[in-house]
Structure 1
Amino acid sequence: MILHQGISKAISSIKGEDFILDNRIPIGYLFSTIFFRVFRGIRGAVIFKSFKRVFVSSSSKIKCVSKIQIGYNLSIDRNCSIDALSIEGIVFGDNVSIGKYTCIECSGTLKDLGKGLIIGNNVGLGTHGFFGCAGGIEIGDNTIFGNYVSLHSENHNYADTHIPIRLQGVNRKGIKIGKDCWIGSKTTILDGTEIGDGCIVAAGAVVRGKIESYSIIGGVPAKTIKKRS
């Protein structure tokens, strides 16, 4: 109990908000978690040359670190792949967590660099996500993602039937997601989408277009189900 309270206070101080551990967590589990957290913190400090409390799993791969700006308490779980090669790079706010097996790819080809990614504060990306940031992706503060969510911020051109699609190039509009949104698992968000603040996207939805703030949407293609108000 005392150990749980001490850890809760430490985490609350680091994150800047109340955090209370469940007292039913075994002591051995806590010590194991702390051990790996310290190891990941050392690796994060070495990779980013920073003491902003960055935690990086040993199985995750990060490319073009020079194009990444970090806030405090960035957590990158195991088997993630992050390639920041792009025009504007990647910006991570404070208290960002990236779930295991997540792929962040800022440029799909070396022939035409992509724009990049901006993530606000207190954002949680679920496991097995894909973030294609060639057209630019912006995610507001306090937004959370379920597992297996994919974002695709570019489209292939296909108008000319005499030229293979792969040779016709791409067009890009970008994706913007507001603050305090909840993106359900297995959602697909397509290029040109703008999701307002406070929206909820139902699991499995395919989203394209402009979504008004505080909407609850779902379906293929996604449509407004109701407003949160």
Structure 2
Amino acid sequence: MLIELVEFLSLKVRKRGIKIDRRIPAGYLFDFVLSKVFMAINGFLKLRRRSVTLVGKRVTVKARSMIFGGKGLVIDDGCYIDALAVQGITFGSGVSLKKNVTIECTGSLTNLGKGLSIGNDVGIGSGSFLGCAGGISIGNDTIIGNYVSFHSENHNFADPSTPIRLQGVNHVGIQIGNNCWLGAKVTVLDGVILEDGCIVAAGAVLKAGRYGANSIYAGVPAKRIKERS
């Protein structure tokens, strides 16, 4: 009965059915349900919205009025979200942020960042960092592994007579397509356009440029290994 209840609630909240392994003990599932009830209450207190949003412990949310969408949003323990930006943050439905994800939309109060847009059914792994000053967009059904970092801004450094920290910044933005998978500890730099259906191997570094669709990339810097077959 408890298994069927969890499956039903998942369908109602996230609009996506799941099939739970029947070998999971009832006590484990009961604790799971209690934790989700707590997260739903915390979600209402943190974001003040009627739609169900699950928010874990030790979560910091800044500029919550600039967070849009997010039906079925799950924000796990220890996440830090600062939505202060020109466009704020737009979450699609069924987005999941695992433990200790950091989202920073503005690097400096002297110049507001652009913001973040995430499509439907996107999962972002534990410990990931999204620096959104130059703008980041992530398409539908994309998987982001643990400790993946996005850096949509660069420091200017052309003048050797002036400290780099005083030369300002530049940015182009990052675009990640639909149905991509970025493995653990991938680094994505400003100016990246990753087209639909790509896989990026763990530890790879994507530098500025366009990466063709339905391909596998690996290495530092990342290079095309082969087409997905």
Q: Which range, TM-score by smaller chain?
A: over 0.9
1:65-214 alignment runs, 5 A limit = 65-208=64-207, 209-214=209-214
Give, as a single letter, the amino acid of the residue that structure 1 aligns with 2:58: S
Deviation at 1:15, TM superposition (A): 2.8
**Equivalent in the alignment of 2:46:** 47
Deviation at 1:29, TM superposition (A): 1.1
Residue 186 of structure 2 corresponds to residue 218 of structure 1:
no
Following superposition, which runs of at least 4 residues in structure 1 exceed 2 angstroms of deviation?
A: 12-18
Task: State the Cα deviation string for residues 139-161 of structure 1 (Å, max 9, x = none).
Answer: 00000111010000010000000
Structure 2 CA distance, aligned partners of 1:10 and 1:206?
39
Task: State the Cα deviation string for residues 147-179 of structure 1 (Å, max 9, x = none).
Answer: 010000010000000000000000000000000
TM-score normalized with structure 1 length: 0.97
Aligned residue-pair number: 228
Deviation at 1:5, TM superposition (A): 2.6
Task: State the Cα deviation string for residues 18-73 of structure 1 (Å, max 9, x = none).
Answer: 30011111111111111111111011112222121101113111111011113211
Structure 2 CA distance, aligned partners of 1:133 and 1:177?
13
Equivalent residue of 1:31, what SS?
A: helix
Deviation at 1:130, TM superposition (A): 0.4
Structure 2 CA distance, aligned partners of 1:108 and 1:135?
10
Equivalent residue of 2:217, what SS?
A: strand
Residue segments in structure 2 that go unaligned for 5+ positions in a row? none
Equivalent residue of 1:5, what SS?
A: helix
Structure 1 CA distance, aligned partners of 2:62 and 2:14?
27
Structure 1 CA distance, aligned partners of 2:212 and 2:61?
35
Deviation at 1:198, TM superposition (A): 0.5
Aligned-pair Cα RMSD in Å: 1.0
Structure 2 CA distance, aligned partners of 1:13 and 1:57?
19
Structure 1 CA distance, aligned partners of 2:87 and 2:27?
43
Structure 2 CA distance, aligned partners of 1:10 and 1:114?
37
Residue identity (%): 50
Structure 2 CA distance, aligned partners of 1:81 and 1:89?
15
